[in-house]
Chains A and B, each alone.
Chain A
């Protein structure tokens, strides 16, 4: 018997007495028993999100959870444009959702501003877009160039919060990593009260954490423009990022009564990975509308595979 065969035999022998009980019946239970039961609920119910103390309600479509409306935060004299990342539940598990915001701050402290906003989000009743960081958590962002340090201050930061699993914790950490590196740098080291830590929210952290793979970290459709609540002309451009089968995305513009006034399809620049899309909507009468951009249904009409992003806009 050669070395390879010996290795193969040793590994097979080592677990030959492992006889687990099959529990397929538990997996075949309705989706409500799944690890993310609220995803199923959110597909049929309004998705209610509390962000920064402001309540938004938005009707979910036929697909899974719809990303939250953008948070509205008081504009300041010194306004700065930042991208903030929030946790958002999708059919694929929790993801971090980028929201472009104009917040108080300056160009030199954009990362601090973004991290503050990511931490300030409050858990909502639907379990959607909630930060599992304990209430009152504060952060100080220092460093530049390659390495950014996020020093956290608060209680219960190292332990997994009740009701959250590893995926939530990992995404919460990614929300801060992406927010902190939006301006500069690509590595983030977390400390708690100035001291190194091995865990955050029960998840292991190491020095120099980087952004996760976008496919595993971001939602499949994100509208970056127009922003939530924007007022636009009768002809406007919609842009964002999408990851869809054959890069196909469909869009519609609906009145508050649900009448579709415009619809069409577009393609992202690349198939099956997050890639930019952009299209023009023309000749829209003045009024208020909901803009939806959906991935296409890959499941032969079962309607399960659709993910979408939405914006409420006003056409002047």
Chain B
């Protein structure tokens, strides 16, 4: 096998944590985020032997995680269950209360954004994907990515400034 060709294990080792963090930004719930990413890898595992271009597997994972997170959010909306817990480890002596509060403000602000704006912002500013990569991940046009990014960023900054 070409040494440049990614392996599933390599993708998991290299991206699992980052993808869980990505899903946590979308879902505001670490437990659900972990499940979403684990399911995305399980699905990829089942398709792996048939992948024509394994180098595109990471792009597939991004799409899968975003789509699955969207399903979780819609299901959560339906059952009117909205976890109010912050992600991460239980508060301990090493995490100051104001640090946790600051982080939760960001997650709450993200949660209040329209779905597409939240997804575009997280892919752009957390995963550092290009506009073209985000467009491919979400199945929307690069122009829409630009629009969602600028509106989302403005809305997020506005909310964060209110909490300063």
Chain A interface (Cβ < 8 Å from any Cβ of B): 3-4, 6-8, 10-24, 26-28, 31, 34-36, 39, 91-93, 166, 198-199, 202-204, 245, 298-299, 302, 304-305
Contact = CB atoms under 8 A, between A and B. Distances in A.
B24 A15 contact: yes
Nearest to A26: B38
Contacts of A203: 75
Given A3-B157, A92-B47, A17 B41 contact: no
B108 to A, nearest CB: 10
Given A24-B12, A26-B38, A10 B160 contact: yes
Nearest to B103: A14
A14 B107 CA distance: 7
Contact of A7 (B20, B78, B87, B121): B121
A203 B71 CA distance: 9
A11 B125 contact: yes
Interface in B1-49: 8-9, 12-13, 16-17, 20-21, 24-25, 30, 33-34, 37-39, 41-43, 45-47, 49
A23 B37 CA distance: 11
A216 B163 CA distance: 42
B7 to A, nearest CB: 11
Q: How large is the interface on B (under 10, 10 to 19, 20 to 34, 35 or more residues)?
A: 35 or more
A35 B49 contact: no
Nearest to B104: A14
A92 B125 CA distance: 31
A15 B125 contact: no
B30 A20 contact: yes
B103 A34 contact: no
A204 B106 contact: no
27 contacts: A4-B125, A6-B157, A7-B121, A7-B125, A11-B126, A15-B21, A15-B103, A16-B103, A18-B24, A18-B30, A19-B88, A20-B30, A20-B33, A22-B16, A23-B38, A24-B13, A27-B8, A27-B45, A31-B46, A34-B45, A35-B42, A36-B46, A92-B47, A166-B75, A202-B75, A298-B52, A304-B49
A35 to B, nearest CB: 6
B134 interface: no
A149 to B, nearest CB: 20
B24 A305 contact: no
Contacts of B125: 4, 7-8, 11
A27 B87 contact: no
B49 A305 contact: yes
B153 interface: yes
Contacts of A18: 17, 20-21, 24, 30, 33, 87-88
A227 B38 CA distance: 41
Contact of A14 (B33, B42, B89, B106): B106
Contacts of B30: 18, 20
